[in-house]
Amino acid sequence: MNAPLINWYKFSSPATFYPLAAKLIPWFTAATILLAAVGLWISFFVAPTDAQQGEGYRIIFVHVAASWMSMFIYCVMAFWSAMCLSFNARLSGMMASALAPTGAMFAFLSLLTGSLWGKPMWGAWWVWDARLTSQLILFFLYLGFIALQSAIDDPRRADKAGAILSLVGVINVPIIYFSVQWWNTLHQGASVSMTKSPSMAQTMLWGMLIMALAFWAYSITMALLRVRCIILEREMTNEWVKKNALE
């Protein structure tokens, strides 16, 4: 039987993942910068002026990217949480913790850019439409996760408690989204909606996609950087930290 070329399980230990992360970071940093450059170029110089919203619609290029990332990161967090609980793997728990602050930041940016888009377009800094409201709740879920983990001193318990919370959260997100949509349509509230976007020119779609990919590469970079910090903080007393931490 041939042994696999790469023993993936080797990397599930913090000590071996640490240097691997260091090697990956420059690549993802480069990807971030490249994708962001292309995305910004499309956002400002390729995508045409919108018929209804003028130049103001360009916010969509960061708003949508931030929204997608905040949701995607939460799902990835839930995945690592499931790994943490299923395999009792320390690194999985650390990865979930490493992702949370970036996800929370994107959730916040989504709300902020949403407001900045809504004010000139529809006259209000905030509308209670289903998507914005769900985004707000997602932000609260992130904050809850971070608060819970920082309140628990024992890192193993913090990992597992956070894992349970994020899994409960990820299952609830569709339920919450559905209920908020239900609530919104029944109340015939906003005749304005963040989901009513300008009719998409091809270039606009490309711009959103590339910016989203840029944010995705950025998130990975941040997660790798942060997990390295977490590994150091937790494994402080281990021999290999003393020998290798300064890399």
Partner 1 sequence: MHWNSLNDFFAMGGYGLYVWGSFGACALGMLIEPLLLRARRRAIVARVPAKELME
Partner 2 sequence: MSAFFVPFKQSVQRDLLLAARHKTELITALFFFVIVVNLLPLGVGPDPELLRKIAPGILWIGALLATLLGMQRMFAPDHADGTLEQMALSPQSFTVLVAGKITAHWLVAGVPVVLMAPLLGLQFDLSARSLWVLTLSLLLGTPVLSLIGSVGAALTLGVRGGGVLLSLLILPLYIPALIFGAGAVEADLAGLSIEGHMSLLAALAVLSAFFGPWVTTFALRIALE
Binding residues (CB under 8 A) for partner 2: these are 137, 140-141, 143-144, 147-148, 151-152, 156-157, 160-161, 164-165, 168-169, 172, 175-176, 178-180, 182-183, 186
Which one of the spans 59-67, 78-86, 127-135, 165-173 is the region binding partner 1 (CB under 8 A)? 59-67
Nearer to partner 1, 148 or 245 (CB): 245
CB of 59 to partner 2, least distance (A): 26
CB of 215 to partner 2, least distance (A): 24
Amino acid residing at 200: M
- How many residues of this chain bind partner 1 (CB under 8 A)? 39
**Which entry of partner 1, partner 2, none binds 45, CB below 5 to 8 A by partner kind?**
partner 1
Nearer to partner 2, 65 or 137 (CB): 137
Nearer to partner 2, 114 or 169 (CB): 169
Distance CA 189, CA 124 (A): 13
Dihedral sign, Cα of residue 215, residue 65, residue 115, residue 107: negative
CB of 227 to partner 1, least distance (A): 10
User: Using CB under 8 A, which of 11, 31, 101, 198 touches partner 1?
Assistant: 101
